[in-house]
Chain A
């Protein structure tokens, strides 16, 4: 997995709460069997009208936010379906960090497994960042996971919390399965003491 230490990039504001994963990547694009190539379908129903033309008012279609790599958005981002295609689409589009007052649990876990950093900041800080990203051209933010802080060049500075293990995992870009397989012995020992009735009869 791609590690995340410090990332500086253009920020785009998506001022909506409860953005669900059906919006992030609609179901008609879930039938592929690869992990890549989903960026073109990100927020598809918001980016394109029914006849397939770009919606000029949608934030990601505005030329000033082209190349954005940090998304600022409302609470409960990523709710709904567990589809990991959502962080795959965000990453493939170019987003490395998402800043919101809160995230849905499964989505947040899925992000950290793919090197996308979910940053939780208080509601008023997020509101301030939304305002700045809307009113400043080429608004750049620096997201620093080592120091657990978000800053801009105009004096904004906020600290965020992240669980130590997830942080280490992202900083070092660890291999999740490899890490668990170091505990082979414990797993085998557990299997030996497991109740027999828990293993279903063979099909």
Chain B
């Protein structure tokens, strides 16, 4: 599949240079684009294909409705204003803060039907890998490359290697796509897929919904991958049919026929293969400051001396110190004071449903401040239609407007120093959610359960009240 898409997009292959690839869709947000537009201005260049470029604001927008009209942080406001001006000047469509389509760039692309199989997509954001769930080849790029794509609609790329991750069997009860993603990273390491495009395959991957596949592909970058992909199938087509920017009528027939031709031939060669037995996976919790520092919820915080290399031992010692944890502590005894359900990893409708089902009829622990931030305004509306917001509110969760929010805390939603958070996001790096804050990555159901219990619990033993 990867080779088919690659070859289909080669514009030219100059001797001694990497291939020049055509970009079908370029998504833009406020943080990584201002310098790129400025570069265009300085060189008197235009955006080659504004019709293949879409922008939104997500990273630093406030998620409290009353604060969205006038952004109080003057530098964030300037960045949002700069994107508005750039979109106006260069003719790029913008889903602004007050638009019904606004949301995290990786949530709105798929839900608008902009993300399509067989395409090459880019965005100045590492989690662009999310869109690979549809069988698109989706690369995160830096700002210089954003400028390059704006000006030329092309990307110069060295051909990456391929890695197939084959997940055999069925995910056990209570084990989600998030736990699978974390389990894979725990096994192959945060640089385990560097230089590779990952194709996820196998029965357990086929059984995932589009939302689950997006969660899985989203975290490919946390294993170092250039991109992650799942071959399109019936699930993919059913998701795309009738979306706003999906092909319609005879164009749909043509597109569907093409998409169905994409899946990898059974005898395709990969540079590497990894096999995972789904039955060995359990609900996962990270204990350290890298997504690879992850264990099942039933285990204890590891002993750094157990690691084989000196570098790993030092990293584990540092991580435990930063996280304020002692080795040997059972994960289920770790108390949290913040819970964040959101981000491009886990803030789609299915994620909110899973969390709401856990929350229903329960109360958030008095020691915990918990918030739910839908991935997009469309997700928010859909959730409200199902009255999920009422379940969350009744349980004591805050219900917010769409944005990246506390995934990286560029807006007012941040952890205070030493606060400990169960988070459905993707990075537990030092200070990611706020300077000196402590992040544990988990699935939406596990996060909701931690909010109620005040500490991590094994979701497989949860008392559902529905």
- Complex interface bits, B19-55 against A, C-beta within 8 A gives 1, otherwise 0: 0101011000001101100100001010010011000
Chain A, range 64-83, C-beta contacts under 8 Å to B: 74-76, 79-83
Query: B31: which of A30, A104, A194, A202 is its contact (CB, 8 Å)?
Result: A30
Tell me whether B35 and A190 are in contact (CB under 8 A): no
Closest to B75 in A: A31
A197 is an interface residue with CB less than 8 A from chain B: yes
Tell me whether A183 and B93 are in contact (CB under 8 A): no
Q: Tally the A-B contacts, defined by beta carbons under 8 Å.
A: 180
Query: B140: which of A28, A106, A113, A163 is its contact (CB, 8 Å)?
Result: A106
Tell me whether B142 and A110 are in contact (CB under 8 A): yes
Once bound together, how far apart are the Cα atoms of A34 and B24, in whole Å? Answer: 28
B431 is an interface residue with CB less than 8 A from chain A: yes
Closest to B146 in A: A84
Tell me whether B430 and A23 are in contact (CB under 8 A): yes
Q: Which of B250-258, B267-275, B365-373, B445-453 contacts A (4 or more CB under 8 A)?
A: B250-258
Q: Which of B147-155, B173-181, B339-347 contacts A (4 or more CB under 8 A)?
A: B147-155
- Complex interface bits, A36-55 against B, C-beta within 8 A gives 1, otherwise 0: 00000000010000100000
Q: Which of B119-127, B162-170, B297-305, B329-337 contacts A (4 or more CB under 8 A)?
A: B119-127
Query: A183: which of B20, B125, B318, B408 is its contact (CB, 8 Å)?
Result: B20
Tell me whether A197 and B255 are in contact (CB under 8 A): yes
Tell me whether B145 and A22 are in contact (CB under 8 A): no
Tell me whether B140 and A201 are in contact (CB under 8 A): no
A57 is an interface residue with CB less than 8 A from chain B: no
Once bound together, how far apart are the Cα atoms of A75 and B140, in whole Å? Answer: 21
Tell me whether A186 and B11 are in contact (CB under 8 A): yes
Once bound together, how far apart are the Cα atoms of A35 and B147, in whole Å? Answer: 13
Tell me whether A50 and B417 are in contact (CB under 8 A): yes
Interface size on B (CB < 8 Å)?
79
B290 is an interface residue with CB less than 8 A from chain A: yes
Tell me whether A187 and B22 are in contact (CB under 8 A): yes
Query: A76: which of B20, B153, B190, B221 is its contact (CB, 8 Å)?
Result: B190
Once bound together, how far apart are the Cα atoms of A190 and B20, in whole Å? Answer: 11
Tell me whether A190 and B11 are in contact (CB under 8 A): yes
Q: Which of B76-84, B201-209, B352-360, B379-387 contacts A (4 or more CB under 8 A)?
A: B76-84
Tell me the A residues contacting B by CB distance below 8 Å: 16-18, 20, 22-23, 26-28, 30-35, 45, 50, 74-76, 79-84, 102, 104-106, 109-110, 113-114, 163-165, 176-177, 180-181, 183, 186-187, 190-191, 194-203
What are 10 of the A-B contact pairs (CB < 8 Å)?
A80-B427, A84-B144, A102-B194, A176-B156, A187-B11, A187-B20, A187-B153, A197-B252, A198-B119, A200-B25
